């Protein structure tokens, strides 16, 4: 995978392609052939109700969970079976659901861990603090004692500091106040504008309307629709709350 | 009936639940919905005694059980299922239910043969065809039925169900809904956490909406479904820009 | 004052050594989640290696140190990680614990093989004889070096864990190993390095303490108990608190050495046990752990079948009769423990196999049973056997009540501490009185035991006692199987999977936990009593912790939830191993490595070895014709043996031939019945044949599934546990 993604000439148009991906737990399939494409520089949102298989799709992509069938293709290479750490060092950055930080390490040490992806320590520090100046006063705090929003900023810092080719976000907003969520997604947009492709799963569909370039709707392990986020939005109420389409 | 009042739970610096009150009257199915991470399972854990809340009280049929341990609360008629299945993997479906029936038989003053009760429940939840199978051989949907069967084997007055329909297909869910209504109509208070809205709409008399550890709205399902606040909780507040 | 200072220095020196060993223990546990029972044994091997290089071969000290500490000790740590621990993902805590205990047993056996025990191996301290004058007191160079090394290691570890990226990664791995992967770090490398550092620290501790003790494999390895005690202060996680714990324990030992009246037998015996008592108390202060839930284990033990249990009981009784009538007195004594200690092995089945709890003290309970029968079974009174069960169960209850809220490692450690307290202290006390109760123990030596007499019949010969043990073994096997079929047994198996669920049904978890522990202790007491009768006179050393570990290991290797595993353990430890050992000293030496090394291999097949055997015997069991013919053939051999036509070796060989032939014929018949004729004509083992799995190809869960099919058991789903490396589930 080419690093940075700024160099449009050498970056393949289709950065990520999932073709007929199936996966499951304990022998029970939860993804029944998922097809998904993320083009270079694009922000794609996966929307859908709980249990649709959104997080599993991300885990399969990031090498945290094996696909039982289908192809996971990144930058033209089939990467089924690649380990999560190898993908991370090659520019895939997944910020997992919950808080993607090490709670018993200090903020500074958390930032240090990000250098495993191949970026030097001063750069990580500089980029993170540039984007999240609030963190500079908290460097020596144990990160588990930070507020939810601060913790999520720290987690997001990895997406910025390591300059990934593909940023994958799983439920960035979970348990956070709306204002914090807004500012986090502003950062996501900035990252995307810098040339990084983004694939995100978000339960709160409306938040990502202005962030995502396109969206797919997943229900029960299938991609049932895709298109512009606004087009998908109309179908969401049905998928989430059931009942009539436009209340 | 179950009354939980002012329950607060704190995890480190994070308030998982703040001042949550919820009632589940006997003879009804009460719904508890809310987005992921809202604190639904945490509330269940606080009510059943799996974790100690920092504030709040729990009453069962008017009796304060706040200070009682897990198993003591259960003996006041509280039973539950788990979102992440807690099946006994070494045992068959029948044995899973039998364990619960045996334990109930030991502390309960009600007469009855746990073996007979087990067979009754197997028929009632529709597991007769797989009763002899080891539970790990079942798909999740049927695993949920085993958990329901185990809870019913304790003859609960209050039944807490944590996403019982996830992993079930449409037909299974429909049958499950009918079963729930039947259980409730026999006088049990059912508190249902569920993401399958059609099920919630169908069986619940009253729905509580939990978001970010707080109760956002309470009301009949149709009303809650139309409530814009609830929609915001599910889809996110639309502060980003004009639609 | 002078005396006080001297013993303060002694205590601090001990503290320093314990701290070094314990910090290695904490490091590997915290970063990899594996509690390394063999930490002390690694230090022991390093100390022996250092002795070999420095004193036996006369190498210069620095080179000897570099080789033993810089190369060997970290290499052992690394090898353990690469070769053994990596295969343990997805196994239960019990399995991991057994593997690391087996490793300790294996390293002790290996050291005893290389460095024959009993020889004196003098080892001088560093700068022997030189002292430093501190003004208020003087300390030896060795003491000074020990303390300085501990301080340097504390500083070094602090630097490693906070000021290097690999150290920070180790701490990160404790928090969230999946996230470590997502950061692009390599957890395997992190684990490897922490095992290497752990090995190095064990080596440092071993080499520092060995000169002040004797160079003896068992006792050096058990020094680890002291290190555990220190680590418990930091709840196996915090290094600073571990150092505090080490200081408390070292100073306690130092002052006890200085001030405990040496001429008083009660106190003198207490000194070596003091640490264990501290450990026990410290464990009681560990806060309540969370309830076990969603264990998701790879292990699966089917309930025993009725026909299988009947067959097991018949085979055991027949074997008892055959052994009793064919063996001479010496052999009867050698192979006697097959069934008596087999009952001790049986006591582990409900506890470890059904309930999923761990006790390393079963042989200690057997010792209590032995004492009961020695003091109350005069002239063979059956009351002695009854009391053996009752007393052992009572002591089991007393131990269980405070420790039962502990699980996993903590419970294992608490029972190990109890076992060591018994064999170092209580068993070595003279008789004493507590109020009106007069307690009689081993009387500082050994006690004699009268054989059982029932209705005038005295079991006074080794042959009679062997038969008695076989019958009792068969009866207890049936009892244990009945337990598994009972309400209580189902409940235990259920609790093993999810205590949380059981509690929500209204079950008070305390009573089943204590109940199964007491029951298991009672069974062990019965086994111990029969063992004592066979010996005629018993001393406490027969019942110490290290002797009990192989029984524990082999039961788990056999498949802890299967009644057959006890026969497997008893048969191998006290039958097959001594029998093959008579073939030659080389085999005897290899045999001594067997328990440890088989335990180490457990990670490959956590459901145990017994299913493999019973699968192999499956066709035979279902073929009455072949079974009957085999029985007749064996009976003929037996009659010929009784008529002294041939000796025992020929008898054993003939029985073996009969069994193998019957198994082969039964397999042919069943496969030709299923697939029609045309099976390969005696072309050696068919690679697809279940019977040869493990020999012709590695054993996999798929084989287990097929075996269960053959055995008509329900299918097992082992796939999931391994397919899901993260353990996460899309909610």
Name the helix (H) or strand (E) containing C205: helix C187-209
A174: nearest CB among B36, B232, B238: B36
Q: Decide if A117 and C731 are in contact by the 8 Å CB cutoff.
A: no
- Could you list the beta-strand ranges (E) of C161-297: none
List pLDDT tens digits, range B124-157.
999 999 999 999 888 888 999 999 999 999 999 9
Q: In terms of pLDDT, which residue wins out, C541 or C293?
A: C541
Is residue C712 situated within a structural domain? yes
pLDDT, mean of residues C631-637: 88
Q: In terms of pLDDT, which residue wins out, C36 or C705?
A: C36
pLDDT, mean of residues C226-235: 87
In angstroms, rounded to a whole number, what is the distance separating the alpha carbons of residues B93 and B149? 9
Confidence of residue C294 (pLDDT cuts 50, 70, 90): low
Question: Which of B52, B70, B134 should one mutate to test binding to chain C, selecting the residue with the greatest count of C CBs within 10 A?
Answer: B70
Q: Quick one: pLDDT at residue A149?
A: 84
Torsion angle (degrees, nearest 10) of CA C570, C572, C577, C580: 130
CA distances from A148 to A153, A175, B15, C731 (A): 9, 8, 10, 21
Ranges of each domain in chain B = 1-77+159-237, 89-155
In angstroms, rounded to a whole number, what is the distance separating the alpha carbons of residues A224 and C59? 75
Q: Decide if B198 and A242 are in contact by the 8 Å CB cutoff.
A: yes
In angstroms, rounded to a whole number, what is the distance separating the alpha carbons of residues C338 and C331? 12
Do residue C36 and residue C103 come from a single domain? yes
CA distance C247 to chain B (A): 32
CA distance C178 to chain A (A): 8
Q: Which of residues 97-126 of A touch B (CB under 8 A)?
A: 103
B48: nearest CB among C293, C494, C504: C504
In the beta sheet, which residues pair with residue C457? C454
List pLDDT tens digits, range A203-215.
778 888 888 999 9
Question: Does the pLDDT of residue C531 top 50, yes or no?
Answer: yes
* Contact residues on chain B for C496, CB-CB shorter than 8 A: 90
In angstroms, rounded to a whole number, what is the distance separating the alpha carbons of residues C476 and C529? 14
The DSSP-derived string for A55-110 is HHHHHHHHTSS--SEEEEEETTEE-TT--HHHHHHTTEEEE-SS--S-TTSBHHHH
Q: Decide if B103 and C507 are in contact by the 8 Å CB cutoff.
A: yes
Q: Quick one: pLDDT at residue C137?
A: 80
Q: Decide if C183 and A117 are in contact by the 8 Å CB cutoff.
A: yes
Do residue C630 and residue C578 come from a single domain? no
Decide: C179 and A143 in contact? Cβ < 8 Å: no
What the block records as the tokens of C532 is 């004592």
List pLDDT tens digits, range C704-714.
555 545 444 43
The mean of the pLDDT values for chain B is 89
Do residue C523 and residue C663 come from a single domain? no
What the block records as the tokens of B108 is 């309960």
Q: Quick one: pLDDT at residue C721?
A: 31
Specify the DSSP class assigned to residue C51.
I
The residue assigned the tokens 């299918």 is C715
In angstroms, rounded to a whole number, what is the distance separating the alpha carbons of residues A139 and A147? 14
Percent of chain A at pLDDT > 70 equals 90
Do residue C68 and residue C149 come from a single domain? yes
Q: Quick one: pLDDT at residue C727?
A: 33
Residues 6 or more apart whose Cβ sits within 8 Å of residue B81:
B144, B147, B148, B150, B151, B160, B161, B162, B164
In angstroms, rounded to a whole number, what is the distance separating the alpha carbons of residues C534 and C469? 9
Residue B197's SS3 state is: helix
What the block records as the tokens of A139 is 């460097």
Q: Quick one: pLDDT at residue A244?
A: 39
Do residue C567 and residue C637 come from a single domain? no
| Nearest residue to A232 via CA among B231, B169, B235, B34 | B235
Is residue C77 situated within a structural domain? yes
Percent of chain C at pLDDT > 90 equals 39
Question: Does the pLDDT of residue C635 top 50, yes or no?
Answer: yes
- The boundaries of the domain holding residue C29 are 20-117+127-221
| Nearest residue to C360 via CA among C186, C228, C497 | C228
Q: Using the CB atoms, write b or e for C481-520: b if 16+ within 10 Å.
A: bebbeebbbbbbbbbbbbbbbbbbbbbbbeebbbbbbbbb
* Contact residues on chain B for A230, CB-CB shorter than 8 A: 243
How many residues comprise chain B? 243
Is residue C287 situated within a structural domain? no
Question: Does the pLDDT of residue C691 top 70, yes or no?
Answer: no
Establish how many alpha carbons lie within 13 A of residue C271's alpha carbon, considering only the half-sphere containing its beta carbon: 17
Q: Decide if B153 and C715 are in contact by the 8 Å CB cutoff.
A: no
Which strands make up the sheet holding A222-227, listed edge to edge? A92-95, A166-170, A197-201, A43-47, A214-219, A222-227
With both helix axes pointing from N to C terminus, report the angle between C648-675 and C624-642 in degrees, rounded to the nearest 10. 170
Residue C361's SS3 state is: coil
CA distances from A49 to A59, A214, A217, B234 (A): 17, 18, 9, 10
Is residue C402 situated within a structural domain? yes
Q: Quick one: pLDDT at residue B8?
A: 93
* Contact residues on chain C for B48, CB-CB shorter than 8 A: 504
Confidence of residue C63 (pLDDT cuts 50, 70, 90): very high
Q: In terms of pLDDT, which residue wins out, C174 or A56?
A: A56
Decide: B14 and A148 in contact? Cβ < 8 Å: yes
Question: Touching check for B35 and chain A: CB below 8 Å?
Answer: yes
- Could you list the beta-strand ranges (E) of C249-367: none
B234: nearest CB among A174, A179, A241: A241
Q: Decide if B35 and A204 are in contact by the 8 Å CB cutoff.
A: yes
- Could you list the beta-strand ranges (E) of chain A: 14-25, 28-39, 43-47, 69-74, 77-78, 92-95, 166-170, 197-201, 214-219, 222-227
CA distance A33 to chain C (A): 16
Question: Does the pLDDT of residue C18 top 90, yes or no?
Answer: yes
Q: Which domains does chain A have, with CATH numbers?
A: 1-84+206-247 (3.40.50.300)
List pLDDT tens digits, range A25-43.
876 788 999 999 999 889 9
Question: Which of B103, B134, B144, B148 should one mutate to test binding to chain C, selecting the residue with the greatest count of C CBs within 10 A?
Answer: B103
Cα–Cα–Cα angle for A39, A43, A46, rounded to 5 degrees: 100
Do residue C381 and residue C443 come from a single domain? yes
Residues 6 or more apart whose Cβ sits within 8 Å of residue C241:
C233, C234, C235
ipTM of the modeled complex: 0.92
Question: Does the pLDDT of residue C236 top 90, yes or no?
Answer: no
Give CB contacts under 8 A, 24+ apart, made by C585-590.
Answer: C589/C113
| Nearest residue to C446 via CA among C378, C374, C395 | C374
Chain C residue with Cα closest to B85: C294
Q: In terms of pLDDT, which residue wins out, A236 or C126?
A: C126
* Contact residues on chain C for B99, CB-CB shorter than 8 A: 490-491, 494, 502, 505
Q: Decide if A182 and B240 are in contact by the 8 Å CB cutoff.
A: yes
Residues 6 or more apart whose Cβ sits within 8 Å of residue A152:
A99, A172, A176, A180, A184
Residues 6 or more apart whose Cβ sits within 8 Å of residue A44:
A36, A37, A38, A197, A198, A199, A200, A212, A213, A214, A215, A216
Question: Which of C299, C304, C494, C502 should one mutate to test binding to chain B, selecting the residue with the greatest count of B CBs within 10 A?
Answer: C494
A102: nearest CB among C175, C181, C186: C175
Is residue C390 situated within a structural domain? yes
In total, how many domains does chain C have? 3
Do residue C536 and residue C653 come from a single domain? no
Decide: C204 and C17 in contact? Cβ < 8 Å: no
Q: Quick one: pLDDT at residue C195?
A: 95
Name the helix (H) or strand (E) containing C722: helix C719-723
Confidence of residue C57 (pLDDT cuts 50, 70, 90): very high
Of C178, C205, C221, the residue at which a domain comes to its end is C221
Do residue C331 and residue C400 come from a single domain? yes
Q: Quick one: pLDDT at residue C74?
A: 96
Question: Does the pLDDT of residue A246 top 50, yes or no?
Answer: no
Of C170, C205, C221, the residue at which a domain comes to its end is C221
C730: nearest CB among A30, A102, A103: A30
| Nearest residue to B86 via CA among B41, B117, B123 | B41
Confidence of residue C612 (pLDDT cuts 50, 70, 90): confident
Q: Quick one: pLDDT at residue C723?
A: 27
Residue B15's SS3 state is: strand
Q: Quick one: pLDDT at residue C369?
A: 94
pLDDT, mean of residues B46-58: 91
Do residue C503 and residue C390 come from a single domain? yes
List pLDDT tens digits, range B204-222.
999 999 988 899 899 998 8
In angstroms, rounded to a whole number, what is the distance separating the alpha carbons of residues C615 and C709? 9
Confidence of residue C481 (pLDDT cuts 50, 70, 90): very high
Confidence of residue C618 (pLDDT cuts 50, 70, 90): confident
Q: Decide if A102 and C169 are in contact by the 8 Å CB cutoff.
A: no
CA distance B13 to chain A (A): 6
Decide: B163 and B33 in contact? Cβ < 8 Å: no
Question: Does the pLDDT of residue B225 top 60, yes or no?
Answer: yes
Of C566, C582, C598, the residue at which a domain comes to its end is C582
Strand B14-24 and strand B2-11: pairing?
antiparallel
Q: Quick one: pLDDT at residue A61?
A: 93
Do residue C515 and residue C397 come from a single domain? yes
In angstroms, rounded to a whole number, what is the distance separating the alpha carbons of residues C552 and C461? 29
pLDDT, mean of residues C706-724: 40
Establish how many alpha carbons lie within 13 A of residue C655's alpha carbon, considering only the half-sphere containing its beta carbon: 15
Confidence of residue C570 (pLDDT cuts 50, 70, 90): very high
Do residue C111 and residue C213 come from a single domain? yes
In angstroms, rounded to a whole number, what is the distance separating the alpha carbons of residues C408 and C292? 10
Is residue C251 situated within a structural domain? no
List pLDDT tens digits, range C94-110.
778 888 899 999 999 99
Cα–Cα–Cα angle for C478, C480, C486, rounded to 5 degrees: 100
Q: In terms of pLDDT, which residue wins out, C609 or C376?
A: C376
In angstroms, rounded to a whole number, what is the distance separating the alpha carbons of residues C252 and C52? 32
The mean of the pLDDT values for chain A is 85
Confidence of residue A1 (pLDDT cuts 50, 70, 90): very low
Question: Does the pLDDT of residue C46 top 70, yes or no?
Answer: yes
CA distance C624 to chain B (A): 28
Chain C residue with Cα closest to A140: C162
Question: Touching check for B240 and chain A: CB below 8 Å?
Answer: yes
Do residue C205 and residue C62 come from a single domain? yes
Q: In terms of pLDDT, which residue wins out, C546 or C718?
A: C546
Q: Quick one: pLDDT at residue C293?
A: 59
What the block records as the tokens of C729 is 């589930």
Q: Quick one: pLDDT at residue C73?
A: 95
List pLDDT tens digits, range C113-157.
999 888 888 888 888 878 888 777 888 889 999 999 999 999 999
Q: Decide if B140 and A28 are in contact by the 8 Å CB cutoff.
A: yes
Distance of CA C533 to the CA centre of its chain: 25
What the block records as the tokens of C321 is 């009769």
Q: Decide if A118 and C184 are in contact by the 8 Å CB cutoff.
A: yes
Decide: B194 and B33 in contact? Cβ < 8 Å: yes
Longest Cα pair distance anywhere in chain A, in angstroms? 54
Torsion angle (degrees, nearest 10) of CA C496, C553, C31, C299: -40
A175: nearest CB among B12, B196, B212: B212
Q: Quick one: pLDDT at residue C722?
A: 30
List pLDDT tens digits, range B71-90.
999 999 999 999 888 999 88
pLDDT, mean of residues B168-195: 91
Question: Touching check for C486 and chain B: CB below 8 Å?
Answer: no
Distance of CA C571 to the CA centre of its chain: 17
Least confident span in A1-5, A171-175, C7-11, C342-346: A1-5
Which strands make up the sheet holding A69-74, listed edge to edge? A28-39, A14-25, A69-74, A77-78
Cα–Cα–Cα angle for B231, B237, B241, rounded to 5 degrees: 125
Partners for C (CB, 8 Å, 3+ pairs)? A, B
Q: Decide if A88 and C171 are in contact by the 8 Å CB cutoff.
A: no
CA distance C158 to chain A (A): 14
| Nearest residue to B2 via CA among B38, B48, B34, B67 | B48
Least confident span in C252-256, C371-375, C391-395, C694-698: C694-698
pLDDT, mean of residues C663-671: 84
In angstroms, rounded to a whole number, what is the distance separating the alpha carbons of residues C483 and C587? 39
- Just give the CATH number of B1-77+159-237: 3.40.50.300
Q: Quick one: pLDDT at residue C288?
A: 65
């Amino acid at each position: 995978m080419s690093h940075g993604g700024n160099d449009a000439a050498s970056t393949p148009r289709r950065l990520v392609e999932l073709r007929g991906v199936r996966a499951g737990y304990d022998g029970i399939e939860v993804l029944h052939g998922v097809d998904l494409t993320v083009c270079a520089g694009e922000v794609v949102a996966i929307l859908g109700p709980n249990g649709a298989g959104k997080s599993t799709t991300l885990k399969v992509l990031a090498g945290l969970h094996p696909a039982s069938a289908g192809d996971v293709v990144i930058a033209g290479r089939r990467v089924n079976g690649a380990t999560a750490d190898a993908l991370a060092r090659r520019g895939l950055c997944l910020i997992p659901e919950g808080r993607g930080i090490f709670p018993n390490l200090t903020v500074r040490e958390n930032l240090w861990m990000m250098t495993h992806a191949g970026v030097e320590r001063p750069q990580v520090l500089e980029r993170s603090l540039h984007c999240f100046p609030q963190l500079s006063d908290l460097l020596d705090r144990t990160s588990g004692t930070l507020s939810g929003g601060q913790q999520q900023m720290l987690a997001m810092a990895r997406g910025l500091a390591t300059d990934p080719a593909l940023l994958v976000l799983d439920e960035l907003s979970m348990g956070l106040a709306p204002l914090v969520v807004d500012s986090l997604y502003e950062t996501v947009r900035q990252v995307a504008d810098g040339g990084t492709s983004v694939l995100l799963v978000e339960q709160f569909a409306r938040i990502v309307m202005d962030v995502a370039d396109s969206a797919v709707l997943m229900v029960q392990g299938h991609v049932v629709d895709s298109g512009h986020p606004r087009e998908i939005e109309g179908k969401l109420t049905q998928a989430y709350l059931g009942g009539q389409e436009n209340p | 009936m179950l009354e939980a009042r002012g329950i607060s739970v704190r995890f480190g610096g994070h308030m998982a639940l703040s001042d949550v009150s919820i009632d589940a009257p006997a003879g009804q199915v009460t719904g508890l919905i809310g987005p992921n991470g809202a604190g639904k399972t945490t509330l269940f854990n606080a009510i059943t005694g799996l974790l100690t809340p920092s504030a709040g009280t729990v009453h069962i049929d008017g009796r304060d059980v706040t200070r009682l341990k897990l198993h003591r609360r259960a003996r006041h008629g509280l039973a539950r299922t788990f979102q992440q299945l807690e099946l006994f993997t070494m045992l068959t479906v029948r044995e899973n239910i039998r364990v619960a029936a045996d334990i109930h038989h030991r502390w309960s003053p009600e007469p009855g043969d746990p073996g007979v009760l087990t067979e009754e429940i197997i028929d009632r939840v529709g597991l007769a065809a797989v009763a002899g199978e080891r539970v790990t051989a079942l798909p999740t949907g049927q695993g949920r039925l085993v958990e329901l069967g185990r809870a019913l084997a304790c003859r609960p007055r209050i039944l807490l169900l944590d996403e019982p329909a996830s992993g079930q297909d449409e037909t299974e869910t429909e049958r499950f809904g009918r079963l729930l209504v039947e259980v409730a109509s026999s006088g049990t208070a059912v508190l249902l956490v569920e993401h399958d809205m059609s099920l919630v709409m169908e069986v619940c008399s009253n729905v509580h909406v939990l978001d970010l550890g707080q109760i956002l709205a309470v009301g009949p399902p149709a009303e809650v479904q139309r409530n814009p606040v609830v929609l915001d909780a599910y889809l996110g507040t639309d502060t980003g820009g004009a639609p | 004052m002078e005396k006080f200072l001297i013993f303060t220095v002694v205590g601090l020196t001990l503290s320093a050594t314990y701290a070094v060993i314990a910090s290695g223990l904490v490091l590997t546990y915290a970063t990899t989640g594996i509690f390394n029972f063999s930490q002390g044994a690694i230090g022991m091997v390093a100390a022996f290696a250092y002795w070999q290089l420095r004193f036996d071969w006369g190498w210069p000290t620095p080179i000897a140190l570099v080789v033993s500490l810089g190369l060997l000790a970290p290499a052992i740590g690394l090898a353990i990680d690469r070769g053994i621990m990596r295969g343990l993902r997805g196994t239960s805590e019990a399995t991991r614990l057994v593997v690391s205990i087996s490793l300790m047993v294996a390293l002790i056996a290996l050291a005893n093989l290389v460095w024959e025990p009993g020889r004196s191996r003098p080892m001088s301290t560093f700068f022997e004889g030189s002292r430093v004058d501190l003004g208020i007191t003087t300390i030896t160079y060795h003491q000074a070096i020990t303390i300085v090394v501990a301080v340097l290691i504390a500083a070094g570890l602090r630097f490693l864990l906070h000021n290097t990226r690999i150290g920070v990664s180790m701490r990160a791995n404790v928090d969230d190993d999946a996230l470590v992967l997502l950061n692009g770090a390599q957890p395997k490398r992190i684990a490897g390095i922490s095992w290497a550092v752990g090995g190095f620290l064990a080596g440092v501790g071993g080499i520092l303490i060995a000169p002040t003790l004797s160079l003896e494999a068992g006792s050096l390895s058990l020094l680890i108990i002291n290190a555990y005690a220190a680590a418990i202060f930091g709840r196996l996680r915090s290094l600073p608190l571990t150092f505090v714990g080490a200081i408390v324990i070292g100073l306690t030992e130092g002052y006890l050495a200085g001030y405990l009246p040496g001429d008083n037998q009660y106190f003198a015996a207490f000194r070596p046990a003091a640490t264990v008592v501290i450990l026990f108390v410290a464990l009681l202060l560990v806060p309540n752990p969370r309830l076990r839930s969603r264990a998701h284990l790879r292990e699966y033990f089917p309930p025993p079948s009725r026909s299988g249990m009947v067959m097991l009981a018949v085979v055991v009784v027949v074997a008892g009769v055959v052994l009793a009538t064919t063996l001479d007195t010496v052999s009867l004594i050698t192979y006697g423990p097959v069934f008596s200690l087999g009952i001790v092995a049986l006591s582990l089945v409900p506890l470890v196999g059904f309930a999923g709890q761990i006790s390393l003290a079963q042989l200690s309970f057997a010792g209590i049973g032995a004492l009961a029968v020695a003091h109350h079974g005069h002239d063979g009174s059956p009351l002695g056997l009854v009391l053996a069960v009752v007393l052992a169960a009572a002591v089991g209850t007393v131990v269980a009540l405070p420790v039962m809220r502990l699980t996993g490692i903590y419970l294992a450690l608490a029972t190990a501490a109890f076992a060591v307290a018994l064999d170092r202290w209580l068993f070595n006390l003279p008789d004493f009185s507590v109020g009106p109760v007069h307690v009689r123990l081993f009387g500082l030596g050994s006690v004699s035991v009268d054989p059982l007499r029932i209705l005038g019949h005295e079991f006074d010969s080794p042959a009679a006692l062997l038969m008695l043990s076989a019958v009792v073994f068969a009866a207890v096997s049936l009892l244990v199987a009945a337990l598994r079929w009972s309400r209580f047994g189902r409940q235990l198996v259920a609790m093993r999977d999810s205590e949380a669920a059981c509690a929500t049904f209204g079950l008070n978890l305390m009573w089943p936990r204590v109940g199964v522990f007491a029951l298991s202790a009672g069974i062990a007491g019965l086994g111990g009593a029969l063992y004592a009768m066979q010996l005629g006179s018993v001393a406490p050393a027969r019942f110490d912790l290290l002797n009990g570990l192989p029984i524990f290991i082999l039961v788990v290797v056999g498949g802890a939830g299967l009644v057959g595993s006890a026969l497997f353990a008893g048969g191998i430890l006290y039958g097959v191993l001594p029998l093959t050992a008579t073939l030659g000293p080389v085999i005897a030496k290899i045999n001594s490595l067997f328990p440890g090394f088989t335990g180490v291999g457990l990670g490959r097949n956590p459901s145990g070895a017994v299913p493999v055997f019973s699968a192999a015997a499956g066709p035979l069991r279902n073929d009455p014709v072949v079974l009957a013919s085999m029985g007749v053939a064996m009976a003929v051999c037996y009659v010929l043996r009784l008529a002294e036509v041939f000796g025992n070796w020929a008898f054993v060989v003939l029985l073996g031939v009969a069994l193998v032939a019957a198994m082969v014929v039964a397999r042919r018949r069943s496969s030709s019945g299923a697939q029609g004729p045309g099976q390969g004509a005696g072309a050696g083992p068919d690679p697809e044949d279940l019977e040869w799995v493990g020999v012709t190809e590695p054993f996999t869960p798929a084989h287990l599934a097929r075996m269960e099919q053959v055995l008509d058991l329900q299918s097992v789903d082992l796939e999931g546990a391994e397919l899901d490396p993260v353990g996460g589930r899309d909610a």
